[in-house]
Structure 1
């Protein structure tokens, strides 16, 4: 109900859902089918059979991580994995019953065994048993990404009573009002059992759009719809593209769109933001930003570009731009262009092919 009210009161009526995206050739379709299917294998192979938890990272050459990273799962990766199971079942990459049982395994674990506080889960867990890893926080955004996958599975397997029941129990258990930590509208980034709430809040544009929708639409612990308007909307201009932006990594413009279709919807107050078009502009600006670095890093070319948070030779870096992150070293992160395929297939597809 709250999400329906938010849509009515916040966004103008959707326009026609026709797309201006270029028509894909048979060769493009074949390439994307192969790439998508092979990408799905990460979730198939890197998810624990007893918990449904998906590893935070794995090496492309199959070599073993050090002990500190070897068994560490990410609840966000698990949410993407649950979504991937639905796609795989629909596209015939996996038997529907196998996908269904894998979803059940994860939901049973999170409903009954995973440690939580008022429904919120730890960012990183031991994939074998769910124990907290790396002294991580109860993460508001990562719990939301996990929940996105659970609710996707609930919708896809809507005739499976156990899946529907468990996903609903998990959603209704999450206390969104508690994570406000006394603020009327701005959610905290998370909570530590020994230090309490993280002081940072979701107070500017970032990857939190789906978190807010889940919080406002919660059937048990909703926050006010006014929370949608409470955060700051900074805008920048780069290469003649003006768009909402606050942090360097490109993924902030991508993640929520994996589950929420923002196409042809605009906020009903100035500057009437269309979040889908905002991500289109952000991607074009980001490509231009990479090409502007080509004198320093000749590896950036017309079809070789993209920087977003990733591992690097020096460890994990939340880099991107514009503005320029100080640790940029010429690395290309393929998922930067890949994550914008839905926004800008005309430039993302050639980048993926290169």
Structure 2
């Protein structure tokens, strides 16, 4: 993570520091910049050659300074719950190991204050956006699969980028433009870099792999036979790219050029190829060495609905409506009639028929696809997603396993890190691990209930769960498990769905694409948001 911090250019750093809701006052000559939030202060300073570490000192009266931390990074988030609220603070940073004249980097004054609910949402959305902006892989501009603050990366995958997670993060970058955190031109330049990379990266019948190496564009195998095109992850990516196309298509010449390049990537995707020659179902994988050996048909219900929407909407390689009805909907077998905690589900969630699957099923397909007023012969998708979320929450509130911390202000089971690796947490398969993305990405469905979780995490867990890219991926008070790790596929939906809750930006862009409206009609959907 030192590498990521040091790669941030001065202009980007200044853009980052402009946001926040308190003022900064520098005292004398200082190399330190600081921003105060509600319960924490974020400090930055330049890297000094020959320095072994930096000491951060704070004072409430400008006279007596107390050491707060010692670290090798050039950014520090100081949670000040122990000092109180609505504070006036002075900070100084000392460079340890430098020459005497470089030892003291100066003093900076900063204040904290109580935030409104909207300001807290702003803060969380902004911090999470930074995963895809500051934390992006530098060559490709795409989202890294994971960022471990502790630096311990599995399988030497520090430079591996994720196609699906990038698609999710794209919605966050668009939201950042609209909110003034970056400029429209900065966003376009990043999207141009990403598009150039995707144009030259490995593709299989127009479809990208799940993982790519950011420096080269070569695919990285997700598993033994999964070394080719990943239709679902590419659908998540294209969902975001089409939103970019819609955002820029009526702008300047440079904007329109970007939109046209994305349009070509869209037209290159051979959705019909992934029916294995005309079968009435889409298949997840194709490999240049193993071909169709994975043989994983996309049958509902899970996170893959967007794949059928895009495949039916393709202007060049469309699939017949029968693939949706016979394949995804299992010739009507997708329907069920179950109830849990007083909430009904109409769709048979694969492997989780009684209480619904992990909550990412209510998120991934709906960052651009607006579930409000979206119905077909099988379901009302707003009601399905809302009830799915409320069942998941009710399970945590009931807490049948009696896990520590669970309740109305700490709920949400989905796929994330767990104590022993990674798991798709859900009711009935609950390991005592809460994933912040579950409740936060559900904000459109459960705004009041999700805000309770946000406040509890920030105010009561603080630095254990909140870092430079927002809330960490998972926590377990039961196991005293607070990993300082992020996953793109969990961070992306937080920014996108919070923005959809607030303004509907991602929904409006994606649903505004004319091909999507035609594809929905083709499959028998009615959309009345």
Q: Normalization by structure 1: what TM-score?
A: 0.86
**Structure 1 partner of 2:296:** 200
Deviations 1:129-156 (A, max 9, x none): 2222235532111000111111111111
Q: Which has the higher strand share?
A: 2
Q: Does 1:50 align with 2:159?
A: no
Q: Relative to structure 1, is the Cα distance of residues 166 and 293 closer, same or farther in structure 2, using a 3 angstrom cutoff?
A: same
Moved more, 201-210 or 240-249: 240-249
Q: Which residue of 1 aligns with 2:269?
A: 174
Q: Deviations over 1:9-55 (max 9, x none)?
A: xxxxxxxxxxxxxxxxx922111111101110010122123212210
- Equivalent residue for 1:32, pick from 92, 114, 121: 121
Q: 1:125 aligns with which of 182, 187, 212?
A: 212
Are 2:399 and 2:407, in contact at CA under 8 Å, matched by a contact in 1? no
Q: 2:322 aligns with which of 214, 217, 226?
A: 226
1:141-180 pair list within 5 angstroms: 141-158=232-249, 159=251, 160-180=255-275
SS in 2 for 1:316: strand
Structure-1 residue corresponding to 2:75: none
In the alignment, the residues of structure 1 paired with residue 418 and residue 217 of structure 2 have an alpha-carbon distance, to the nearest angstrom, of: 27
Counterpart of 1:262? Answer: 371
Q: Which runs of 5+ in 2 are unaligned?
A: 1-114, 457-529
- How far, CA to CA, are the matches of 1:82 and 1:101 in structure 2? 13
Map 1:53-64 to 2 at 5 A: 53-59=142-148, 61=149, 63-64=151-152
CA contact (8 A) 1:50 1:128 kept: yes
The answer on whether the counterparts of 2:425 and 2:433 sit within 8 Å (CA) in structure 1 is no
Q: Distance in 2 between matches of 1:183 and 1:169?
A: 24
Aligned residues between the structures: 320
Distance 1:147 1:283 in 2: 26
For residues 83 and 258 of structure 1, the distance between their equivalents in structure 2, rounded to whole angstroms, comes to 8
3-state SS of paired residue (2:421): coil
Contact 1:104-1:162 within 8 A present in 2 as well: no
**Aligned residues of 2:162 and 2:211 also touching (Cα < 8 A):** yes
Q: Aligned match of 1:251 in 360, 374, 392?
A: 360
Contact kept in structure 2, 1:120 and 1:143, CA below 8 Å: yes
Maintained 8 Å contact 1:249/1:309: yes
Checking the alignment, whether the CA contact within 8 Å between 2:137 and 2:143 is kept in structure 1 is yes
Aligned-partner Cα distance in 1 for 2:426–2:335: 17
* Residue 285 (structure 2) aligned to one of 170, 186, 190: 190
The correspondence for 1:283, drawn from 378, 389, 395, is 389
Equivalent residue number for residue 9 of structure 1 = none
CA distance in 1, matches of 2:139, 2:159: 13
Match of 2:449 in 1: 347
Deviation at 1:352, TM superposition (A): 1.6
Native 8 Å contact 1:64 1:70 kept in 2: no
CA distance in structure 1 between the partners assigned to 2:388 and 2:155 by the alignment = 38
Indicate the residue corresponding to 1:217 in structure 2.
313
* Residue of structure 2 in register with 1:73 after alignment: 161
Of 397, 421, 426, 1:315 maps to 421
Contact kept, 8 Å, 1:180 with 1:188, in 2: the verdict is yes
- 2:425 touches 2:431 (CA, 8 Å); kept in 1? no
C-alpha change, 1:291 and 1:215, in structure 2 (3 Å) is same
Please give the per-residue CA displacement for 1:84-140, whole angstroms capped at 9, x wherever unaligned: 2211111101121111100011111112x1011110111011122222223553211
CA RMSD of aligned residues (A): 1.8
Structure 1 unaligned regions, length at least 5: 1-25
Q: Is the 8 A contact 2:343 2:387 kept in 1?
A: yes
The 1:253/1:127 distance shift into structure 2, 3 A limit, reads same
Q: Secondary structure at the match of 2:339?
A: strand
User: Residues 295 and 38 of structure 1: is their aligned pair in 2 closer, same or farther, counting only changes over 3 Å?
Assistant: same
Give 1:350 shift: 0.8
Alignment partners' CA distance in 2, 1:228 and 1:66: 37
Q: Distance in 2 between matches of 1:67 and 1:201?
A: 28
Is the Cα–Cα contact under 8 Å of residues 210 and 222 in structure 2 kept in the other structure? Answer: no
> Are the equivalent residues in 1 in contact too, given 2:145–2:160 (CA < 8 A)?
yes
Residues 127 and 195 of structure 1: CA distance in aligned 2, closer, same or farther (over 3 Å): same
1:106 aligns with 2:194: yes
Return the TM-score normalized by structure 2. Answer: 0.58
After TM superposition, the structure 1 stretch with the greater mean CA deviation from structure 2, 283-292 or 226-235, is 226-235
The answer to whether the 8 A contact 1:49-1:102 is kept is: no
Change (3 A) 1:223 1:128: same
What's 1:242 paired with?
344
